[in-house]
Chain A
Amino acid sequence: GENVEQHPSTLSVQEGDSAVIKCTYSDSASNYFPWYKQELGKGPQLIIDIRSNVGEKKDQRIAVTLNKTAKHFSLHITETQPEDSAVYFCAGKGGGTSYGKLTFGQGTILTVHP
């Protein structure tokens, strides 16, 4: 089945800096890669996603890039703000026998210092 590895586990940045979180996946048939943000005491919420036929997607200060050859994808947050502090999870949706199953990475705790 799919295996998703996420790095780093913690990330600390100053307000206004950029933050990058990276994930690798194992299943070359995976075709959907969402990113979820979990604020303290809340459930995860989808912030951006990318499908395997696209290399990059942007939504205001957030962007995701996908390298299918290397089987990795990254979340980029520019001009970080204190409200970006949260736990971020990447995920991959498997193909083949794992079709439809979403496998999550281990999570990254992002702290943005004012």
Chain B
Amino acid sequence: GQSLEQPSEVTAVEGAIVQINCTYQTSGFYGLSWYQQHDGGAPTFLSYNALDGLEETGRFSSFLSRSDSYGYLLLQELQMKDSASYFCAVKDSNYQLIWGAGTKLIIKP
């Protein structure tokens, strides 16, 4: 079957750096996406990696290694507003998004 694995919860301190890992097993691969979801809200798109390497968007970066079926989301200079759930998702050979269960990021002052 198809699956994505990510930690259920990560805790970090305001101003620090945190990395959320995601490993995947899917039939086909058309890119790894990351989404942020605040409590009560809808997921919002953060980043997308189709090729190996690092993509940087402001304080957020995302990395992909297709040979390792692995990616991560890196959040720098953490702010309290970054407290949310973060989901990784992979598009499979049918162009369907397969979702991880989400990582709850808890930020302490």
Do the two chains belong together in a single complex? no
A interface residues, Cβ below 8 angstroms from B: none
